[in-house]
Structure 1
Amino acid sequence: MSRLFETLHLGKLTLPNRLVMAPMTRSRARNGVQTPLAAEYYAQRAGAGLIITEGTQPCVIGQGYIDTPGLHTPEQVEAWRRVTDAVHEKQGRIFVQLMHSGRIGHPSLYPDGALPLAPSAIASGGQMYTGEGMLNHPTPREMDLDDIARAVEDHISATKYAMDAGFDGVELHAANGYLLHQFLADNTNQRTDAYGGSVDNRIRFAVEVAQAVSDTIGPERVGIRLSPANTSNGIKESDPAPLYESLIRALTPLNLAYVHLMEFGGRDITKMIRRQWPGVLILNPHATPEEGFVTPESAEAVLEEGLCDAVSIGSLWLANPDLPARIKADGPFNAPDPDTFYGGDHRGYTDYPALDD
């Protein structure tokens, strides 16, 4: 596993290894505010080369699920500061993922029962979990130009809050069917103005957000997550290869710290982005068919193949807070418990044992 433990320069950071903790929603915040348990959870995993937090809404209307954290109030900043302090005390590095959910939301989450926002008034066809049952996602309200400008400003404001909270940087979530991805995909974006229609128009919003956030804190503190051909949350991209080729071309002059690629489509798209993107590429590769998640062996393999500079891993980080030590020791690995992935208390969150336990 030698490649996994090589250092890597990412922006102004030097990562001690190439194992990245992938962003994973845990739904344990209260009223958008992280609890002290979150500080313990992330600090336990500070041995990662880089931690990327769970999706964090940059504004009230950007929330998509119950009990997810935000970064749009001073109280939320203070709670996240406890998290970043705990991670930094253990010499860790942590980026916050800013996730505006767009149409993946529900009026029950918003003041006065407002509708979620989206590039076009097209419902996802999905549902939102609540403690009282499942609720259908409604048809969202199509964003006008003022809404688009406000969404850019919301990302800027949340980015400033992220710096106040002590984060090392931010990752923009342009994947998995959320707002930035909804603008990219032709089935969710049927606008006829400058933000819809052609590929150049559909990538415009994501590029504007990336540019605005980079201008705010410097591109060396900014990453972006993409998932070409991902069908999550009702997304259908009719021709993803030219779409992402154009997006990468437009992002290249910004000199972002990294592109974080969730591999969903064929590996040909991964190889295309690897060839075209001149900076650091973090890859969340296809899970192994046998185990259903990324293994140390598959992580090492994509590094050896030269497909990426670092590998993001999800499930194994949940159950193995000391994952780098376990990989070096060739296991054993704790098995993650899906029943405790979302919501709840410390169980399945901070109580997975480390090797030295």
Structure 2
Amino acid sequence: MTNTTLLAPYSAGPLGLLPNRMVMAPMTRLRATADGTPLPVVADYYAQRASAGLIVTEGIWPSSRGQSGWRYPGLETAAHIEGWQRVTDAVHAAGGRIYAQLMHGGRHGHPLSRVDGDVPAAPSAVLVDPSPVHVPGHRKADAVTPREMTRDDIRTAVRDFVAAARNAIAAGFDGVELHGANSYLIHQFLADNSNLRDDEYGRGSIADRIRFAVEVVRAVADAIGAARLGLRLSPGNPQFGMAEADPGPVYRALLDELDGTGLAYLHLTDNDRYPALADLRPRWHGVLIANVGENGDPTTREAGEALLASGLADLVSYGRGFISNPDLPERFAAGAALWPIDEAHLYAEGAEGYTDYPSLAQESRLVSAQASARTSALTSAQTSMST
């Protein structure tokens, strides 16, 4: 690959022309009502970050059956669509591009935190780790053991993904990312310890283990077009007690099934246990977004530049940097210092710690105003002394 930089434009095939190669990674922020409708402040939050080459939203449940937590947003009802339409309108008005990440919780979730109040379903009846989990009222409760999904449940989950993807397009999203990573439903089918099934969706062979992921991707691609669909994977990620003793063969087989289908991109998380980027990049001939900050230090500009120079990625996703620096590309371009995250309000319910981080321009105006105030005070003091 020729020399590239994070801040250079990129013509990304199905994604079109992006102004830079920085993707805002999906990050849970819990700014939704109890029924899953995004709050009005969500539109402000994403519009502030529209200078990213591409925004991928926080995980959105495709149906109440896949709701993984309290105040997580959904894309199932008319109210959800209307709420997200305000978000996409705001991002587009600011010149941005935004994909909706569809995240089915599978075994994640608690009856107290779910709209339907039911027990979550998963590939197998395996308790999520760690426990306890967050429930309404800022309390914690012991996690519940999910029930094992029937074949009908599996077919319903595929239909739920399809319906939510269509709702995403109706809400004005530029596309959809399927969350097949970080311990959620698609990942649960792929991993060793969360999928103990002995049928065609389980341990019989690698082909069985990847079957659900392939079915979801193909069904959603058929519904909205492969060019508007991305997939996120995190091979070997141990979050929430996930175990994959030898992820390589599973994910190689999955990519062999999906490569060439015309997806907008593959969003791939690397980790120390399994060098997913190095192993899988040669098997993926489409756009690849790399994430190297999961379970580690936030990704720096230098780390992103190195990924692009190595040829292991076409785009680089940044998570925590975008939380507290809405104009992260501009700050990288200027070599400016980054604001730290307000951890106390990371999952609060309003604008504090969400939309109150200053842009570089706002910060400069604030510094100028403070300097002017100091100058005026000094002048006044000198005038008083001379009289």
* Fold in common (TM above 0.5): yes
Please tell me the residue identity of whatever aligns with 1:215: D
**Structure 1, 42-51 or 11-20: larger mean CA deviation:** 11-20
Mapping for residues 51-200 of structure 1, pairs under 5 Å: 51-110=55-114, 113-126=117-130, 127-130=132-135, 131-197=137-203, 198-200=205-207
Which residue does the alignment assign to 1:309? Answer: 314
* CA distance 1:163–1:338, shift in 2 (3 Å): same
Which residue does the alignment assign to 1:20? Answer: 23
Please tell me the residue identity of whatever aligns with 1:15: L
Q: CA deviation at 1:186?
A: 1.5
Please tell me the residue identity of whatever aligns with 2:31: R
Which residue does the alignment assign to 1:7? Answer: 9
Q: Secondary structure at the match of 1:336?
A: coil
CA distance, structure 1, for counterparts of residue 86 and residue 115 of structure 2? 28
Which residue does the alignment assign to 1:225? Answer: 232
| CA displacement, residues 230-254 of structure 1 (integer Å, 9 cap, x when unaligned) | 0111210121111111111111132
CA distance, structure 2, for counterparts of residue 219 and residue 93 of structure 1? 17
Alignment gaps of 5+ in structure 2: 363-387
CA distance, structure 2, for counterparts of residue 266 and residue 187 of structure 1? 17
CA distance, structure 1, for counterparts of residue 168 and residue 177 of structure 2? 11
* CA distance 1:12–1:124, shift in 2 (3 Å): closer
- Report whether the alignment pairs 1:350 with 2:355: yes
Contact residue 247 and residue 274 of structure 2 kept, 8 A: no
- Report whether the alignment pairs 1:273 with 2:263: no
| CA displacement, residues 175-207 of structure 1 (integer Å, 9 cap, x when unaligned) | 000100000012110111110012110110011
* CA distance 1:323–1:191, shift in 2 (3 Å): same
Q: CA deviation at 1:265?
A: 3.9
Q: Secondary structure at the match of 1:173?
A: strand
* CA distance 1:347–1:245, shift in 2 (3 Å): same
CA distance, structure 2, for counterparts of residue 10 and residue 37 of structure 1? 32
- Report whether the alignment pairs 1:336 with 2:338: no
CA distance, structure 2, for counterparts of residue 19 and residue 133 of structure 1? 36
Q: Secondary structure at the match of 1:176?
A: coil
Which residue does the alignment assign to 2:373? Answer: none
Alignment gaps of 5+ in structure 1: none
CA distance, structure 2, for counterparts of residue 254 and residue 2 of structure 1? 26
- Report whether the alignment pairs 1:213 with 2:230: no
Contact residue 22 and residue 53 of structure 2 kept, 8 A: yes
Q: Secondary structure at the match of 2:260?
A: helix
CA distance, structure 1, for counterparts of residue 260 and residue 281 of structure 2? 16
Give the TM-score normalised by structure 2.
0.89
Q: CA deviation at 1:112?
A: 5.7
CA distance, structure 2, for counterparts of residue 117 and residue 288 of structure 1? 26
Give the TM-score normalised by structure 1.
0.96
225, 249, 252: which one pairs with 1:245?
Answer: 252
Please tell me the residue identity of whatever aligns with 1:5: L
CA distance, structure 2, for counterparts of residue 288 and residue 252 of structure 1? 27
Please tell me the residue identity of whatever aligns with 1:188: S
CA distance, structure 2, for counterparts of residue 98 and residue 279 of structure 1? 21
CA distance, structure 1, for counterparts of residue 306 and residue 63 of structure 2? 39
| CA displacement, residues 206-225 of structure 1 (integer Å, 9 cap, x when unaligned) | 11000000001110100000
Q: Percent identity?
A: 48
Q: CA deviation at 1:227?
A: 0.4
| CA displacement, residues 261-319 of structure 1 (integer Å, 9 cap, x when unaligned) | 11224463211111110001100114797xx2111111111111111000000111001
Q: Secondary structure at the match of 2:244?
A: coil
Contact residue 271 and residue 294 of structure 2 kept, 8 A: no
Please tell me the residue identity of whatever aligns with 2:350: D
Contact residue 123 and residue 139 of structure 1 kept, 8 A: yes
Contact residue 18 and residue 309 of structure 1 kept, 8 A: yes
CA distance, structure 2, for counterparts of residue 267 and residue 307 of structure 1? 15
CA distance, structure 1, for counterparts of residue 269 and residue 336 of structure 2? 25
RMSD, aligned α-carbons: 1.5
**Structure 1, 278-287 or 74-83: larger mean CA deviation:** 278-287
Please tell me the residue identity of whatever aligns with 2:128: S
CA distance, structure 2, for counterparts of residue 138 and residue 287 of structure 1? 26
Q: Secondary structure at the match of 1:190?
A: coil
* CA distance 1:137–1:336, shift in 2 (3 Å): same
CA distance, structure 2, for counterparts of residue 112 and residue 30 of structure 1? 15
Contact residue 228 and residue 265 of structure 1 kept, 8 A: no
Please tell me the residue identity of whatever aligns with 1:170: V
CA distance, structure 1, for counterparts of residue 116 and residue 106 of structure 2? 17
**Structure 1, 38-47 or 263-272: larger mean CA deviation:** 263-272
